[in-house]
Amino acid sequence: MQLRNIAIIAHVDHGKTTLVDKLLQQSGAFRDNQRVAERVMDSGDIEKERGITILAKATSVVWKDTRINIVDTPGHADFGGEVERILNMVDGAIVLVDAAEGPMPQTKFVVSKALKMGLRPIVAINKVDRSDARPQEVINEVFDLFAALDATDEQLDFPILYGSGRSGWMAESPEGPQDQGMEPLFDLVLRHVPAPKIDAEAPFRMLGTILEANPFLGRIITGRIFSGTVRPNQSIKVLDHENNVLEQGRVSKILAFRGIERQPIEVGEAGDIVAIAGLSKGTVADTFAALEVTEALKAQPIDPPTVSMSFIVNDSPIAGTEGDKVTSRMIRDRLHKEAEGNVTLKIEESTDKDSFLVSGRGELQLAILIETMRREGFELAVSRPRVVYRKDEATGETLEPIEEVVIDVDEEHSGVVVQKMSERRAEMVEMRPSGGNRQRLVFYAPTRGLIGYQSELMTDTRGTAIMNRLFHEYAPYKGDIPGRRNGVMISNDIGEAVAYAMWNLEDRGPMMIEPGARVYQGMIVGEHNRENDLEVNVLKGKKLTNIRTTSKDEAVRLTPPVLMTLERALSWIQDDELVEVTPKSIRLRKAILDPIARKRAR
């Protein structure tokens, strides 16, 4: 059977996973009466809740006697490391672009990686049934983007399809015909994407690209076989990028993708994408090979991490009451396990062994890691995200990460966006209308200025702005950026918050806890209206007398509190504050809980 390997790459929310649903449906991967969830490839709980893809996943369909392996990739820049590795496995890419939004920063990032590797892309303009669709202009923008990324003449001569992933059709013109479904896309893949280049006679070699743990089979590594064949019980070895042998072992099982299910097969052949089980040390970017092979396959270099956070053992007075995984050893093991499968994470231990510095691509990537750990029963405290600086070896000056930020906003709000971004040391490089009384603003901004800006942007633009960011380069330090201006209200005792005390504190600023919440000394219970921190007592009840009144002032009516989500809490806190994360709650606290020690430290 012939083979084709393709990846579907696009910006977040341009419809990759929905398109894969339709490809599976129309190729007969599902039975007629089978119940299938929407966005079947997003299998994780967090992926389903947020509607985003976090981990790349593979599937396969058969079309006209050719097996097509399809890899669905994440769209967020924070998970770009997944996409960079995946491109090693495929011979072609479908670049999906929204017919209204056009190419966005993540499209640019992924396409530049694909073009560098020599992949010949197919451009699919999705969502042409939107009321604000502008397919012809978008095609011109895609062409300009390819040209700006130094595409070869072959790559610039890309085939184009138009369609709607949700309605399940693709055609050579935006008007249709719509009755052929995904057939034009399948046929184009068979014509345009080359079959994998393989050396069937050479010994077995495979590059690991996706790592997962299975409770029955142990570690499972997915990758593409570059040469030779592999069978169950065959002895193989694992080489790292410096050609050192990490381990030798037997393959216990070979799994191949058949539709959305993985099935055991008797032989993995060159060119196919398979998963193998049975080895305990081999990880992502390692080469799995026959015993006689001495040279490792070359893996794509991965962009460096730009944001770091401290993960600290929870030492609050009520630690250990809501989660069952609280020790530094458990946190260390969990972080190292995560770093094995995610090559963009870097983990360093502190000297006191109680905290770990975790560096990644962005706040979202680290927040998803914290959310996953929290659901597994971990309790920990995390610091505010900080950027990873570098030293310029020639001049010795400090360099910081700069991001390209694209903000789509209604015209009436563009002034306040430009003003806030310039306060954060951003430099505007482009401003143009993007249709429908909206403007597209493009900035180069320091990463540290963008930490915590998302919620402020939503407030300034009444929730109408869309912000997309992408790492651009390291550049000289831009100077100080003002942070949060308000102080906080700090609880001065341990106990349960009382509604009457909170009602009396409402003039001082908005509260962040509900009545009955457990508080402790040093925990942040609200935002102060002024710049200084204020110690308050939220445990004080009303003194009762024996005089009864019929007046209405007895009832305490509280303003609803500002409840923090994890991402908002991480971006809101200052350097001397921490977020305490447990399976049941998210609390804010000062890093030093004792008020006297805090004053001394200041």
Binding residue numbers: 13-18, 126-129
Query: What residues form DSSP beta bridges with 432?
Result: 440
- Could you give the angle at which helices 328-341 and 363-375 cross, rounded to 10 degrees? 130
Coil, strand or helix at 345: coil
Q: Are 149 and 123 in contact (CB under 8 A)?
A: no
Q: How far apart are CA 18 and CA 4, in angstroms?
A: 21
Q: How far apart are CA 115 and CA 103, in angstroms?
A: 15
- Total length of the chain: 602
Q: Which of 420, 411, 424 is nearest to 465 (CA)?
A: 411
Q: How far apart are CA 423 and CA 244, in angstroms?
A: 50
| % helix, strand, coil for the chain, step of 5 | 25, 30, 45
CA distances (Å), origin 389, targets 10, 308, 383, 479, 573: 29, 10, 17, 13, 20
Tell me the binding residues for GTP: 13-18, 126-129
Q: Which of 453, 446, 485, 403 is nearest to 570 (CA)?
A: 453
**∠112-117-118 over CA atoms, to 5°?**
100
Within 13 Å, how many C-alpha atoms sit on residue 289's CB side?
24
**Total Cβ atoms within 10 A of residue 475:** 14
Phi first, then psi, for residue 92 (nearest 5°) are: -155, 165
Burial of 360 from C-beta contacts in 10 A (0-12 / 13-18 / 19+) = buried
Q: For residue 375, what are its two tokens?
A: 């659901």
Phi first, then psi, for residue 240 (nearest 5°) are: -85, -175
Q: How far apart are CA 390 and CA 476, in angstroms?
A: 9
Q: Are 213 and 219 in contact (CB under 8 A)?
A: yes
Q: Are 59 and 70 in contact (CB under 8 A)?
A: yes
Q: Are 95 and 128 in contact (CB under 8 A)?
A: no
Burial of 65 from C-beta contacts in 10 A (0-12 / 13-18 / 19+) = exposed
Phi first, then psi, for residue 221 (nearest 5°) are: -110, 130
